[in-house]
Structures are given as C-alpha cells and as structure tokens.
Amino acid sequence: MTHRHRALTPSLAAATLAVGLLLPSPARAELVTKVVEYKQGDAVLEGYLAYEAGGPAKRPGVLVIHDWLGVGPNTRARVDQLARLGYVAFAADIYGKGVRPKGPAEAGKLAGQYKGDRALLRERVRAGLAELRKVPLVEAPKVAAIGYCFGGTTALELARSGADVAAVVSFHGGLDTPTPADAKNIKAHVLVLHGADDPYVPAEQVAAFEAEMRAAGVDWQLVKYSGAVHSFTIPDAGNDNSKGAAYNAVADRRSWQAMKALFAETLQ
Amino acid sequence: MTHRHRALTPSLAAATLAVGLLLPSPARAELVTKVVEYKQGDAVLEGYLAYEAGGPAKRPGVLVIHDWLGVGPNTRARVDQLARLGYVAFAADIYGKGVRPKGPAEAGKLAGQYKGDRALLRERVRAGLAELRKVPLVEAPKVAAIGYCFGGTTALELARSGADVAAVVSFHGGLDTPTPADAKNIKAHVLVLHGADDPYVPAEQVAAFEAEMRAAGVDWQLVKYSGAVHSFTIPDAGNDNSKGAAYNAVADRRSWQAMKALFAETLQ
C-alpha cells in the first residue's frame, strides 16, 4: 500500500482511489484509501483518507496530524490502523502539497515555523478537520483528533481553538502554548500520552500544561510511560534513548490502547 | 466491540449474532465467595476470596488490599468484580480479624501505625499473597496485587519487598516510602492511578516516586485523572472535592479500565 502511494505522481494523487484487499480472510473488509487535495486560503494541501468498505453508513471520524516530517508512511499507517478499527480516518496536511522535509534539519525548521505562528497552525488544522467532516460517511458530532510530536502540539492547539471535537490525543507532543488562557475554549476530552524521559517535553512543561488544563476545568488525562523518550511511537526513531528520541514498542502499544479506551468512551 | 462487529462482513456478523442467541444471555456463572481465616506470625487475619464456579481449572490471581477501613463492603465488591472478570481474587487483611476501624479517626490511627512499621506491613501483605497462592485454582506465576489508598501504598511496598508479582496497581495510594532504594527489588509492572488534585499525594511526592522508579529501572506507568482527589474510586466518599477525598465516577471507570489493560498484558 505504502509503496503504491509513494509512487503516485502529484497530478494523479488528488483523484486517485486506491482499493486493496489486504488479506484473504473473509473477516476483513476492503480498505478504501484516497489522497485528497484541499485548500486552506490559497494554500493547496494534500491529506490522506482511509475507511473500510461496506459497514455502517455513518461512522465516527478521526483526524490524524503528522509529526514534523509531514504526511508520510508513518502517518498513513496510523490512518489505515484507525480505518481498521472502524473509523473514517483522515491525515491533515499542515505543510502544504509537496512540502515534505528531507530530514531533521528541514523538519525542525518547518515545524518551528508553524509552532511560531499558532494562528496559521490553527487555520491549517481546522481546514483538515473541515475536510474530514465533508466525508459523507462521517457521523458529524463524533470526531476526534490525534497527533504525533508536532502533530500532538497541533491537536492540542486545535482543541484550544474551540473546535468541536469530542476527544484530542497527543502522542509525545509538545504541551506548551503561547496562549494558555485559550484552554477555556476546549470542548474535547484531552488525553496526553507522554514519555516519562522525554527531554523535549520536560517536567516543567508538563506541570505548566496541567496547571493550564486545571485552571480551565478541562477533562484531561495524562499518562507517563517509563523508559520512553520523544517519538516513542515512531518505528524509524531507532532504539537509543540517549538521543532523546527513540521507538519504544511497549509504550507504543500501551498508548494506542489508551487512545482506544478514550475513543470507546467518547466516540460511540 | 461495536467497531469490531462493524468491520465484519455481513455474513460473519450474522453468524456471530446466531452464536450470541444460543447463549443463555442473562445466566451468569455462580460466584463462589469465602471468608478465609489465616495467620501471619501469631496474628489471626481474615481475608475474603471470590471466584466464578466452573470455568478453567487454572486462573490468574489478584490480591486486593483494602483502604484504611480494612476489609469491608468496598473491598469485597472489588474482589467480586475481579472474580467476574475471571480472576481468583482475594482480599488480604492487614489489620487482623475483627479489627475494623469505626471511622476516619480510628482508621487514620491504624493505617498510620502500619505505615510507620513497613517491615510489619510487608509481612502482613506477603501473608495475604501466600494465602492467595495456596488456592488450587490459582495459576502460580500469574498473580497481581491492587490496592486502594492505604492499600495502594501497601501494594507498592509489596513490590518493593521483592515479591514475585507480575503487576501492581495503586488506586489513589500514597507513593512515599522510607526505603526508596528497595525499588531495585521490584519485579512487577507498576501502574499508579492518581487523582490530579489529590491533596494527600502532592506533586512533590509524585515526583519523588517517579525518580525512585526511574533510578531502579522499573517498568512503571502513572496516570493522572483531572478533577479527581483522594478516594476517587470509593462510592461512599461523597462528591465534595474540597474535602480532599471524593468519589469520581469518570476516574473510577477509567482507572478500572487501565487496570484491566495492564492485566490483559501481564496476566494472560
């Protein structure tokens, strides 16, 4: 699947519908996936949609917000996983069509640019949410947003913008914001999944976030996973904690489970 | 569950429904319960055992450690709930047969006495664990311990004693210990379920606990529930957070779910 999508030319992408039988098992429905071109203002964005063929006519939706590398294989894999759980899942594109950083330096610069312009960041993610809501399969009020690293920060910023989302989940996202008072706008149930040894999201930032949520009366939960640093759900991140970012299979599995539990509570 | 069914092809869904109709839906296995007298040294203790009649010949065991009121209705209700999940559940008695404090003053004194003598506390809880292991139904290596308030502290102390338990769960327990270096003895996967506004387990104590676990390389998780104070799983605790202890139905449900997820991982 992934390879096929990576091989798509940009011109084909917008209108291409990919349907694949993943397994011969009769229990598995076909996965419908689609690269979706949409806009925010004048910016052209390119997201990725997936859902299971057949099944109910209306389903809860989940918006997935990419890490600093943009919509890539890891993001699409999460969208597919969510589709397999019965959701209509859509990866929002924050950076713009064709804007895909080549490595950490470029990614850091780009993510930093959007983190430094929260108004634009909110517009971009809200455009993604609007795009997801347009999918006829989506049961309108039952929409959640999740995000990874930069995307976790963005998911929280989406909630602070007052977006009508039932739940927001951050996987190893930065928790800081220039406008903590905006927490009063949050309608979502908030779940923060945090590596206990994440050097990029230090204890002081976690404490400030808790204080922000508490002051605004938000329904929030925060889970700390031992032995986990930044990027703990990203398979490409390697296994060297001393680098500050590394994959952790246990924390990956547990955090996915925690997300599912919140969705079972808020999206049914 | 709903989603798994939604993902099924219509024919398989129909088959599942048919199987469901064959089951005597309201019929539940009989719950076997037993008050168990046992000893630690010369002290006579009185625990409470429950398991489902029928079912597999070997099952994982869960030790339940009472709050400061001793083995009472709340503790027995948790034992019954665990039995309904398929575990052999046993409430350990820390205080001794017939020693059941009448109210907070007496309870605080008694709990404080055991908290002040961790050696004795460990002996008492280890005697309960040994009693659980004697039940022929119990699949020996698959035993966990959970505890509430004082019992959460005790469950963690059990782990620090080096007891051979697969998992330990503290519900709104105190996290302090006079011997943090003993964390090196911990074999269990540790899960701490904590009210984010618990005045009896303040942020400094949580931070010290995290440092203790981190230094010892323990596999631990800590979940903070917003709007929850001490005793958040205890229905009798009322609903006035300003008292520092109150029931919180949402945190109660979420924390039970988190416990089940850890058990699914460590006791299956």
Specify the pLDDT at position A140: 77
Q: Could you tell me the CA-to-CA distances from B71 to A10, B38, B51, B77, B238 in Å, in that order?
A: 67, 14, 17, 10, 20
Q: Return the sign of the alpha-carbon dihedral for residues A240, A245, A251, A253.
A: negative
Per-residue confidence (pLDDT) for residue B140, from 0 to 100:
77
Residues in B 202-221 with any Cβ partner in A closer than 8 A: 203, 207, 210, 213-214, 217-221
Put simply, whether B12 touches A (Cβ < 8 Å) is yes
pLDDT tens for residues A171-182?
999 999 999 999
**Residue in the block written with tokens 């009798």:** B236
Does B223 lie at the interface with A, CB-CB under 8 angstroms?
yes
Q: What is the pLDDT of residue A10?
A: 34
pLDDT at B193 over 70: yes
Q: Is B165 in contact with B144 (CB distance < 8 Å)?
A: yes
Tell if the CB–CB gap between A223 and B226 is shorter than 8 Å: no
Residue with tokens 């779940």: A191
Q: Where are the alpha helices (DSSP H) in B23-175?
A: 73-84, 104-115, 118-134, 150-160
- State the Cα–Cα distance between residues A255 and A238, nearest whole angstrom: 18
Strand partners, A136: none
Q: pLDDT (tens digit, 9 = 90+) per residue, B210-250?
A: 999 999 999 999 999 999 999 999 999 999 999 999 999 99
Q: Is A87 on the interface with B (CB under 8 A)?
A: yes
In this prediction, residue A141 carries a pLDDT of 84
pLDDT at A25 over 80: no
pLDDT at position B2 is 31
Q: Which amino acid type is present at position A106? A: E
Q: Report CA-CA distances (Å) from B236 to B52, B72, B239, B249.
A: 27, 12, 9, 12
Residue from the list A87, A219, A257 with its beta carbon closest to the beta carbon of B261: A257
Q: Give the pLDDT of residue B135.
A: 97
Contact between A86 and B4 under an 8 Å Cβ cutoff? The reply is: yes
Weakest-pLDDT range from A54-58, A125-129, A167-171: A54-58
The per-residue pLDDT for A94 is 98
Q: Which residues of A touch B266 (CB under 8 A)?
A: none
Nearest CA in chain A to B261: A257
Q: Provide the pLDDT for residue A12.
A: 32
Q: Is pLDDT above 70 for A254? A: yes
Whether B258 has its CB under 8 Å from any CB of chain A: the answer is yes
Mean pLDDT of chain B: 91
Contact map slice: A 42-61 vs B, CB within 8 A? 52, 54-56, 59
* B112-125 pLDDT per residue, tens: 999 999 999 999 99
pLDDT digits (tens, 9 = 90+) for B120-162: 999 999 999 999 999 999 997 899 999 999 999 999 999 999 9
Quick one: pLDDT at residue B263? 98
Mean pLDDT of chain A: 91
| Model confidence pLDDT, tens digit, residues B197-211 | 999 999 999 999 999
Supply the pLDDT for residue B27. 64
Q: Which of A206, A219, A226 to mutate to test the interface with B (most CBs of B within 10 A)?
A: A226
Question: How large is the average pLDDT for residues A252-261?
Answer: 98
Q: Residue A18: is its pLDDT beyond 70?
A: no
ipTM value for the complex: 0.90
Judge whether residue A117 has pLDDT over 80: yes
CB contacts, 8 Å: A87 with chain B:
3
pLDDT over 50 at A9, yes or no: no
Burial class for B5, CB neighbours closer than 10 Å (0-12, 13-18, 19+): middle
Beta strands in chain A (DSSP E): 17-20, 31-40, 43-52, 59-65, 88-92, 138-148, 167-171, 189-195, 220-225
Mean pLDDT of the region A77-91: 98
Task: Give the pLDDT band of residue A3 (cuts 50, 70, 90).
Answer: very low
* Segment B21-76, tens digit of pLDDT: 344 445 679 999 999 999 999 999 999 999 999 989 999 999 999 999 999 999 99
Q: What is the pLDDT of residue A175?
A: 98
Is residue A59 within 8 Å of residue A138, measured between CB atoms? Answer: yes
Mean pLDDT, range A221-233, rounded to an integer: 98
Q: Which residue of B has its CA nearest to A55?
A: B6
For residue A24, pLDDT over 60 is answered with: no
DSSP one-letter string for A147-207: EETHHHHHHHHHHHTT---SEEEEES-----S-GGGGGG--SEEEEEEETT-TTS-HHHHH
